[in-house]
Structure 1
Amino acid sequence: MRTRSSLAVVAMAAASTLAVQGAPAQAAAACAGYVGLTFDDGPSGNTPALLTALKQSGLRATMFNTGQNAAANVSQVRAQVNAGMWVANHSYTHPHLTQLGQAQIDSEISRTQAAIAAAGGGTPKLFRPPYGETNATVKSVAAKYGLTQIIWDVDSQDWNNASTDAIVQAAGRLTNGQIILMHDWPANTRAAIPRIAQGLAGRGLCAGAISPQTGRAVAP
């Protein structure tokens, strides 16, 4: 009987160990789809708190940085990368690009590419025009720098003082491959992050990267 009891204990321990070891695989298998979480207008003094919230919730996101903010907050660009985020181009001064000439648009995009690269954020492959305003000229200049234009499927309205509940509800509308617009600075957005993570997990969705090929959210 002692032998059998010992074997049973060993078997239970082994099963427990396997269950723990299998947890990451199970978590990965639970991803029935991917969504793109995006944050515009950083980096800023709010970025550290945002990155902490994302890391604590196990989320990765694409940070659409403005060039002037990247140049002024070099350490935060590096912090974004170190936290596992993807850094992308959001123009240099956040103007209405469709009201500018081609040379000015080129300057806005090219200077941001340079500022982000100089800050350690790599060379962006994604570009989001401020306010989502674009035209053929904006698209062609972005393409010149190897950038894929990314708008969004869901607007969290966090820029318009949306409540934390409203931001969470907006994220709840995301489906596989879709992208949500959020921003680096609103406190309500940071507060929503743990609940966004919980809501996505409950629907089998995971935070993914945005593909430069398709412009959709995919597995990292």
Structure 2
Amino acid sequence: MVDIGRRAALAALLAAGLVPCADAGAASRTPVTEGTAVPSGPRPPASLLGEEIRRLPTSRKVVALTFNAAWDEAGIDTVLAELRRRALPATFFPTGAFAAAHPRAVRTIGAAHGLGNHSYSHPYFEELTTAQRVEEVRRADAAIRKASGTEPLPFFRFPYSATTRDCVTDVNDLGYAAIEFTADTNGYLGPQGGMSVEAAVERAVDALSPGAIIQMHVGSSGDGTVLDAEALPLVIDAAEAGGYTVVDLRAFLVP
């Protein structure tokens, strides 16, 4: 599923930044062939396959913090410092183009946190053929591996959160779980998009429930502002005050 307003806002940020859009052909699907799978580490359990995951399969009061990285490095140091200060995990989903352009940042992130796959060039996956989707995932995996020097997680997040059943099947066939989110703080919109730190925190707090996955972004909103970096301490405070524990997505690789 896809939010049209979200697509437009993210597309504008990407157009102003580093990430080129992939050429989209007529969407069609042929089975992913043997030998195209990418992850060489643990595979996702069956509970994470067959659909886009917007909530972790648990009844415990836990929440996962995730960050997408697709344009610039703004806010990364602030986010990492806050997570380090609190000894908390997060999962980052860089694009391959981001990893190629900012290898030092990706290596720093990967030294402390899990790295998922957010495609190479942030295209609309529902507009791609299966072969094009495979190329996006494989190319991103190679770039993230090269930049980080670590084994990426078998977690894929669709650009623009735009998914179809065929898209999910294709990434599952490649060995990835489709990890989306319960709520996005929308901090990436920045003040010019009508967002504030308080509004970003409120969106995260409103989504708190067992197994919630919160999506945030690193990278500036165009005016140098990184609302999610500023909101992160308040989001964590609110979650902990509500009795929630921040968990690592990697814990859910165990069946």
TM-score between the two structures when normalised by the length of structure 1 = 0.76
User: Match of 2:150, SS?
Assistant: coil
Aligned to 2:63: 35
User: Normalized per residue, which structure has more helix?
Assistant: 1
Residue 192 of structure 1 pairs with residue 226 of structure 2: no
For 1:88 and 1:184, the matched residues in 2 are separated by 14
Q: Deviations over 1:40-77 (max 9, x none)?
A: 12484222232123223433211011011112222212
CA distance in 2, matches of 1:121, 1:39: 18
Alignment of 1:62 with 2:101, yes or no, is: no
Q: What is the letter of the counterpart of residue 166 of structure 2?
A: T
Unaligned runs of 5+ in 1: 1-31, 215-220
Aligned residues between the structures: 182
Q: 1:57 to 1:188 in 2, by over 3 A?
A: farther
The match for 2:142 among 87, 111, 114 is: 114
Residue 188 of structure 2 is matched in structure 1 by: 159
Map 1:38-117 to 2 at 5 A.
38-42=66-70, 44-46=72-74, 47-82=76-111, 84-117=112-145
RMSD over aligned Cα, in angstroms? 1.9
Structure 1 pair 57–175 and aligned structure 2 pair: CA distance change class (3 A): same
How far the C-alpha of 1:213 sits from its partner, in A, is 6.7
Residue aligning to 2:170: 141
CA gap 1:42/1:54 in 2 versus in 1, 3 angstroms: farther
Q: Is 2:70–2:95's contact at 8 Å kept on the other side of the alignment?
A: yes
**1:175 has 2:209 as partner:** yes
Deviation at 1:169, TM superposition (A): 1.2
* Letter paired with 1:182: M
Q: What percentage of residue pairs aligned between the two structures are identical?
A: 30
Tell me which of the two structures has the higher relative contact order, counting C-alpha pairs closer than 8 angstroms and 6 or more residues apart.
Answer: 2
Cα 1:134/1:151, change in 2 over 3 Å: same
Contact kept, 8 Å, 1:148 with 1:213, in 2: the verdict is no
Gaps of 5+ in 2: 1-59, 221-225
Q: How high is the TM-score relative to the length of structure 2?
A: 0.66
Say whether the 8 Å CA contact 2:188–2:228 is kept in structure 1: no
Write the distance in 1 (CA, Å) between the matches of 2:139 and 2:153: 12
| Alpha-carbon distance in structure 1 between the residues aligned to 2:85 and 2:163 | 35
> 2:24 maps to what in 1?
none
Contact 1:89 1:113 in 2 (8 A): yes
One-letter identity of the residue aligned with 1:130: P
Could you list the runs of 4 or more consecutive aligned residues of structure 1 that deviate by over 3 angstroms after TM superposition?
A: none
- 8 A contact 2:117–2:152 mirrored in 1: no
**Counterpart amino acid of residue 131 in structure 1:** Y
Contact 2:188 2:227 survives alignment (8 Å)? no
Residues of 1 paired with 2:235 and 2:133: CA distance? Answer: 35
